[in-house]
Amino acid sequence: MKLNQNTIAGLAELLETAELQAHDVVKITDAHPEMDWDDAYAIQAEILRRKLARGNRVVGLKCGLTSRAKMKQMGVDTPCFGFLVDTFTVADGGEVKIKELIHPKVEPEIVFVLKQALRGPGCHVGAVLAATDFVMPGIEVIDSRYRDFKFDLKSVIADNCSSSRYALGGMAVPLAGLDLRTLGVVMEKNGQPVAIGAGAAVLGHPAAAIAMLANHLGARDQEIPAGTMILSGGVTEAVAVAAGDHVSLRIQSLGGVSLKFI
């Protein structure tokens, strides 16, 4: 690691305050070009520590930047991993207040819920499928704290991978007979299709994103606990939203989920 604990704590405070007060900041690698990957995840962990100290609860994990479309959109070439807390949760059909956010975008996601823990190294698609209880459709609202949504990978990891809000659909679908690679995904904004894709856009198979997360945590002597809900990453590019927008997602065989922005 290149940053000391004071600097890590200061950067976590900067980023979390930007999240809570809905204002942007410049990407942190501008002032700290020397920071490494461990520093980036340490800043994210410090943001989580601050939230837990305030009484927030972890409700899930997320994989980000797992589709080529997303990597190309953001100019990066590696996925990232973050956490979800209870204050990010919005009910299916619920309202998201734009004034609480900076410049939100929505992403269509295939969401996994595990019945068994997963631990890397060596976790693979087969292990993820064996450990999955069910899958669901999910809309993730991302809201980078960085000015104009411009960042590099270390800055976005520190910023908890732009995590902000999410909603899950109401159907829990077991995997038997389902090929997640070929599930069609259609996201509409105000009744118009704005993002269309299929599950294979996520690393060839959405379960590969979950395996990557297990291997990432395994390298840090951690595991994904049984019962964890995990967003596997946006299937398409993210789509900007504004007050008045209604977003609905349908995923073949998994049902739908929607959000209103007010």
List residues near ligand 0L1 by CB under 6 A.
62, 64-65, 70, 74, 80, 107, 140, 142, 144, 156, 161-162, 233-234, 238
User: What are the DSSP calls for 168-190, one per residue?
Assistant: E-S--B--TT--GGG-EEEEEET
* Tokens linked to 163: 């995590």
Q: How far is the CB of 130 from ligand 0L1 (least distance, A)?
A: 25
Q: Which does 19 bind (CB under 5 to 8 A by kind): ligand 0L1, Mg ion, none?
A: none
Q: How far is the CB of 65 from Mg ion (least distance, A)?
A: 8
Q: Parallel, antiparallel, or unpaired for β 80-85 and 184-189?
A: unpaired
Residue 159 in contact with Mg ion, rule: CB under 5 A: no
- Find the binding residues for Mg ion in span 199-258 (CB under 5 A): 234
**d(Cα 170, Cα 32) in Å, to the nearest integer?**
43
Q: Could you give the angle at the alpha carbon of 175 between the alpha carbons of 171 and 177, nearest 5°?
A: 115
CB proximity list for 175: less than 8 A, separation 6 or greater: 129, 132, 134, 135
Residue 60 in contact with Mg ion, rule: CB under 5 A: no
Between 8 and 146, name the residue whose CB sits nearer to Mg ion. 146
Q: How far is the CB of 105 from Mg ion (least distance, A)?
A: 9
CB proximity list for 10: less than 8 A, separation 6 or greater: none
Residue 107 in contact with Mg ion, rule: CB under 5 A: yes
Between 140 and 245, name the residue whose CB sits nearer to Mg ion. 140
The maximal CA–CA distance of the chain, rounded, in angstroms, is 51
Q: How far is the CB of 76 from ligand 0L1 (least distance, A)?
A: 8
Between 119 and 165, name the residue whose CB sits nearer to Mg ion. 165
Note the residues at the interface with Mg ion (CB under 5 A).
Answer: 64, 107, 140, 234
